[in-house]
Structure 1
Amino acid sequence: MNQQVKALLFLLLILPQLTYSQKGKLEIGMEGGLNWSNLSKERFKSDYKRKIYGAGGITIQYHFSKFFSLKTAVNYEARGFSLPMTLTYPDHIEYPWFSTRFDFLTIPLMGRVTIGSKVRFFFNAGGYFGFAMDKSGHLEGDDPGFNKLHLTYLKDYKKRDAGLLAGIGISVPLNDVWALSLEARGTIGFADFTESNITRRWEGANVLFGVSHHVKPKDPENTSFQNNRITIGISGGPNCTFARGETSPGPNYTFKTYPNAGSSYELALQWNFKRRLSIRSGLLYEQKSVVCNTYYTSPGWEQLINHHLVSTFDYLTIPVLAKLTFGKKVQFFCNAGFFISILNKQQDQIKSNYALFVYPYTGYEFSTTEVTQNNRTMYKKTDSGLSGGIGMGIPIKKRFCVSAEWRQNYGMKTIFNLDNWKGQYTGIKNGRLLTNSMGFLVGISYRLSFRESTK
């Protein structure tokens, strides 16, 4: 009798895992929503104001049983806060708020406990690591001069962050493989984010909406098989380019870059091996665009100058990618490799804002100039770096397939022709500029050269 009880208890313990293994242990998805953030002040009430931005990313979850799983993600998270400042003028003092924004790449690792069946309730807890990819700020207020001329007083803030997080939410299965979720999550950093004597840590709250796909276990009798050798296709869509790097134009100058929208078009050729692996290449026409702002402030604030520069680069790019494909009716794939680009055309649109202080104090007088010019000689002819992406495709009959892909090109070399910049602008001592573009490509492909066993 005792042996039977032990056997029954053992079956009850492993039954959830056996049942769940039929659905598969791996779950991938996307989530996004709003982020409330601030810097806390140790032992005192924070004198900073909370800011609201956005957050989102790609999630991976591994189920050990029906009730317990481990979840991680790669998230983009915009954080920020407002802090009080003091500006002294010749005849008065103002106290505006300085609004900040930090663009973080965050990787959380959480344990999850789930209960329920049709509507599932879950609890997450774990830690995270974050890296600030960019930071910017501007003065709030009614003075149009400060709204036009963004200022950066953020050198005292660090780039790395780490802390704890926890959240609760609900998940609603749509069918055996798809589910929707809604989660409220809180974070608190345990790393000091400032270089000052006062310890300040990030704290925040997220409301995240998500969609996830449960990867079913592989059926050994129905192994994925790519039944054609060659695939050709065309695709196109918008992209967003970020510029990384810095320059030193001279004293009292600040140089900042911001992302801008462009477009991409690709003619692709793909060689398929028998199982999941393919090699993909082609010709990709990319129009990349970035925004560069140069700020000059005279020592006594008598003159403020902002050069707003929209730079457009037309590149002919050759990517070489290894591709893995999963599924049949709906195919999911990921790409990884490198790219080489040749600069075909370059154009700058420059808008300069000037603010001159008027004595006795009556405010600032503003003037604006605009010019369009070709500065191709200021940039190198080639660019190269790493490339990767994820996407999905839906086969149409036997030969056609429509697809959607999110792809990122990460430049690894500076595109500045620094010698030419130094020759034209004597204040520049050093500088580098690297590109990072993210594109969304929608395409259609055609399959050729079918293998004999599938004809």
Structure 2
Amino acid sequence: MKKSLFSLLILVSIVASATGQRSALGISIGSGFSSTRNEYSSEAWKQGFIINLEYSWYLTRRLALRTGLAFEKKGSKFDPVWCATGEFENPYNVHFDYYYASIPVLVNLSFGQKIKYNVYAGPYFSRLLRTDLDANDEFRNDVIVEQASNHRAIDFGLSTGTSIDIPIAKNLCIPIELRYNCGLLNTSKERLHHYNVIDNKTYSEDMVVKHNALYLMIGLKANL
């Protein structure tokens, strides 16, 4: 995937140069919060991060296409829940960490003269690199389990956000960006089993895990 992406970036750079279109290359890092959701509820937000290498191809002065490669740490958590009996239904603090390599394809609109204001949206495609489950009980005894085999390797979703480009030199600026990613695919392979005491039957259904992530990012961008 990385080789294909870099080949695409090189091809786009050549086309941009040949057609006289402007382009930009940037790198940014950020921190934020992520969670997972299903059709019933959302789990608690957990801190994550993003490292993003990005290429922008300006179709007009205000319209650009943006793509690149991002490394993301997403996650979710839930805390112990008390039952009516005074006991824990779930006696562990459970944290999930998901590590993804992602390729966004974004349409960007910019406004302003010296300082640029941007809004953008578009799909992203992600490849799962690793998943960890970290559980600790009331005595802080940790259990860490690698969970990648329980999750689908590919994720797909929509990105949207806004940013401001602050110039610091000719053809060089600092972008500050707020980005929200909304996963659309169920990334879990697991099934849930429920026993119904009324009809004395066990029912199964797919476990649903979809990702949300909100990042605040800062970086450096150079116009080529």
Report the TM range for the smaller structure's normalisation.
0.7 to 0.9
Describe the SS at the equivalent of 2:44: strand
Contact 2:35-2:213 at 8 Å conserved across structures: yes
Equivalence for 1:229? 22
Contact 1:228-1:447 at 8 Å conserved across structures: no
| Offset of residue 375 of structure 1 | 1.2
Partner Cα distance (1:368, 1:266) in 2: 34
Partner Cα distance (1:392, 1:339) in 2: 21
User: CA 1:429–1:369 in 2, change beyond 3 Å: closer, same or farther?
Assistant: farther
Equivalence for 1:244? 37
Contact 1:292-1:311 at 8 Å conserved across structures: no
Give % identity: 26
1:97-108 equivalence runs, <5 A: none
Equivalence for 2:198? none
User: CA 1:311–1:391 in 2, change beyond 3 Å: closer, same or farther?
Assistant: same
Matched, 1:337 2:122: yes
One-letter amino acid of the structure 2 residue matched with residue 235 of structure 1: S
Partner Cα distance (2:174, 2:128) in 1: 30
Equivalence for 2:44? 258
Partner Cα distance (2:177, 2:134) in 1: 31
Contact 1:239-1:288 at 8 Å conserved across structures: no
Partner Cα distance (1:265, 1:234) in 2: 8
| Offset of residue 349 of structure 1 | 0.7
User: CA 1:292–1:380 in 2, change beyond 3 Å: closer, same or farther?
Assistant: farther
Pick from 314, 338, 341: which aligns with 2:99?
A: 314
One-letter amino acid of the structure 2 residue matched with residue 259 of structure 1: W
Pick from 170, 176, 184: which aligns with 1:404?
A: 176
CA deviations 1:70-97 (Å, max 9, x no partner) are: xxxxxxxxxxxxxxxxxxxxxxxxxxxx
| Offset of residue 334 of structure 1 | 0.5
Query: Gapped runs of 5+ residues in structure 2?
Result: 1-19, 194-201
Equivalence for 2:221? 445
Contact 2:130-2:147 at 8 Å conserved across structures: no
Task: From the CA coordinates, give the structure whose radius of gyration is larger.
Answer: 1
Partner Cα distance (2:173, 2:21) in 1: 13
Partner Cα distance (1:412, 1:375) in 2: 20
Partner Cα distance (1:270, 1:372) in 2: 39
Partner Cα distance (2:56, 2:42) in 1: 39
Partner Cα distance (2:88, 2:220) in 1: 51
Partner Cα distance (2:79, 2:43) in 1: 6
Equivalence for 1:323? 108
Which structure exhibits the higher relative contact order, with contacts defined as CA atoms closer than 8 Å and separated by 6 or more residues? 2
User: CA 1:368–1:240 in 2, change beyond 3 Å: closer, same or farther?
Assistant: closer
Equivalence for 1:303? 87
Partner Cα distance (1:427, 1:310) in 2: 27
Partner Cα distance (2:81, 2:207) in 1: 16
| Offset of residue 289 of structure 1 | 1.9
CA deviations 1:341-393 (Å, max 9, x no partner) are: 1100111110234xxxxxxxxxxxxx664211111111111111111110100
Matched, 1:392 2:183: no
Contact 2:103-2:125 at 8 Å conserved across structures: yes
Instruction: Give the count of matched residue pairs.
Output: 196
User: CA 1:288–1:302 in 2, change beyond 3 Å: closer, same or farther?
Assistant: closer
Pick from 133, 139, 162: which aligns with 1:348?
A: 133
Matched, 1:416 2:188: yes
Matched, 1:268 2:44: no
Superposition RMSD on alpha carbons, in Å?
2.4
User: CA 1:256–1:292 in 2, change beyond 3 Å: closer, same or farther?
Assistant: farther
One-letter amino acid of the structure 2 residue matched with residue 434 of structure 1: K
Partner Cα distance (1:292, 1:381) in 2: 23
Query: Gapped runs of 5+ residues in structure 1?
Result: 1-226, 248-254, 354-366, 449-455
- TM-score, length-normalised on structure 2? 0.79
